[in-house]
Chain A
Amino acid sequence: MNSVAVDDSDFVYAPGTSDAEIEAAAMEAALRHRRLVIGWRLGILVVLLGLWEVAARTGVIDAFFYSYPTAIAARLWELILEGTDEASLWYHLWLTMEEAIIGFVAGSALGILAGVALGRNKLAADICAPYIKTLNAIPRVVLAPIFILLLGFGLWSKVALAFIMVFFVVFSNAFQGVREADRAMIANAQILGARPWAVTTAVIIPSAMSWIFASLHISFSFAIVGAIVGEFVGARYGIGFLIQEARGVHDTAAMYAAIVLIVVVVLTAEWVMTRIENRLARWRPPVQGH
């Protein structure tokens, strides 16, 4: 290829359109946009919280049922410092987390295993299909009383509920992901010399990974739901128990404080998961608009 060196020095741009200038302008515009977005987000938050506070204090809404932001913040602080009669706040929180995390890890591991196994075996998948559909149709929370009966008031009844909340979501996504694996890519691996097990580990599982991750994102909050519902039904500690207790003494501020706490936990978990996913999915083309 012949290339001719272009001499940039005597090339005249229209005023304000040199490379450096348009690059600077684009950077400036991006920064302005970002500031605008953050500004609006903060503004909306302040207005909403302010309206709630004012409405409750002036009696537009009943502060007894709805509480208000400063009361909730004060109650949360109190809980952090003093805990409840039964245990410190951290103990309650940790117990709920423990139930959710064990259920989440076990549920997603077995969900992936079962999804990949059935996805690779059409006969077994066809045989199991109606059973899976039926089991999946059971609203998970109705199992809470049964698990409490079976496994008692302690940790394991809540773990079981968190597990069952997570398992089916991850299972069906893993199954679908396996089914969607590219045929040409599988044939390519086979011809290159891959045996069935290598096809599964080198092609099927990596290509199902984005489906699996999509389900992991939502299923951690499902695991928390499982743990808390279990605690509602019967427990001696945990965030769900704390909310039940607060309801018993009409302490609405404490109920909302517990919700705030759980929201922070779920958002943190979500953030961690996104970080892990981005690390694992470096091969993927960058998504536009993120």
Chain B
Amino acid sequence: MPDTPAIELVNVSRRFLSPDGHAFSTLKDFTLTVKRGEFVALVGPTGCGKSTTLNLITGLGHPSSGQVRVFGKPVSGIDPRIGFTFQADALFPWRNVLDNVVAGPLFRGRPKAESYDKARDWLARVGLTAFERHYPHQLSGGMRKRVALAQTFINNPEILLMDEPFSALDVQTRVLMHEELLQLWSETGAAVVFVTHDLEEAIALADTVYVLTARPATVKSVHPIDIPRPRVISEVRYEEHFIAISRRIWADLKQEVQMSTLAAA
């Protein structure tokens, strides 16, 4: 069934218990469909439940109600077709770069020699061949993100979930990483859900931008981004069309950001 969507969330709600035992909702009536090969970005105010959505898709979290389906099947446990890039540094600091990248195939029981060949190949693709014996603490933030990308892509994920992966990087490095990501993604054709609070990042990367409401999060509006690919990230944001889209979505997002700021105050 090549036309089943990669990811479907249907009327999903997710409640948590606060430390003092009270229930609160982070997601409410959340509906989202990601087609195969589609690049979706979720933007919304900080702390609105964007990361919760990703956890539901990985199977690390379970919906309180509603359905989460991956390639048409309800999620039960961690799907091996999923890759995940974290906001925080999730590399293993006691392993060198090569051993970090090779982790996935070895965890999955692939033969050693084949796994290491593949890992070297991915290190070459992200331009880190010369650093394979370095430990993560010896690398810059951008290089660590490249290792994380290689570590994720080596498993050939058909679904790629990214939780504000570049938010800790400086602006110049971030743009370089965007181009790197689009390059790798265009070669694999994975479906991507990219969570961010940076609207320009979302527009520059995605086919479709979902604006989420303040907590409990639900989908406020959906914006197809018709900027042609391949995109040159460092220049695309100065095009008039980009600015027009940006202005339109920001009008939507602004209200939610203001609401969540008021709620926090």
Whether B88 contacts A283 by the Cβ 8 Å rule is: no
Interface SS majority for chain B: loop
Interface centre among B78, B92, B96, by most A CB within 10 Å? B92
Give the contacting residue for B84; candidates A191, A284, A285; CB below 8 A. A191
A56 contacts the other chain (CB 8 A): no
Taking CB atoms, residues of chain A closer than 8 Å to B91 are 188
A192 and B104 contact, Cβ closer than 8 Å, known pairs A184-B88, A187-B60, A187-B86: yes
B interface residue count range (under 10 / 10 to 19 / 20 to 34 / 35 or more): 20 to 34
Alpha-carbon distance between A281 and B89 when the two chains are bound, in angstroms: 19
Whether B86 contacts A193 by the Cβ 8 Å rule is: no
Taking CB atoms, residues of chain A closer than 8 Å to B60 are 187, 190-191
Closest-CB distance, B172 to chain A (whole angstroms) = 11
Taking CB atoms, residues of chain B closer than 8 Å to A194 are 103, 107
Count residues of A near B (Cβ-Cβ below 8 Å).
23
Taking CB atoms, residues of chain B closer than 8 Å to A182 are 88, 90
Residue of B nearest to A207 (CB): B94
Whether B86 contacts A190 by the Cβ 8 Å rule is: no
A185 contacts the other chain (CB 8 A): yes
A188 and B90 contact, Cβ closer than 8 Å, known pairs A198-B107, A283-B95: yes
Taking CB atoms, residues of chain A closer than 8 Å to B136 are 283
Whether B90 contacts A184 by the Cβ 8 Å rule is: yes
B93 contacts the other chain (CB 8 A): yes
Other than the known A184-B88, A188-B91, A191-B58, what 6 A-B pairs have Cβ atoms closer than 8 Å?
A182-B90, A187-B84, A187-B86, A191-B83, A283-B94, A283-B95
> B residues engaging A (CB < 8 A)?
58, 60, 78, 80, 82-84, 86-96, 103-104, 107-108, 135-137, 151-152, 155
> A residues engaging B (CB < 8 A)?
182, 184-185, 187-195, 198, 202-203, 206-207, 209, 281-285
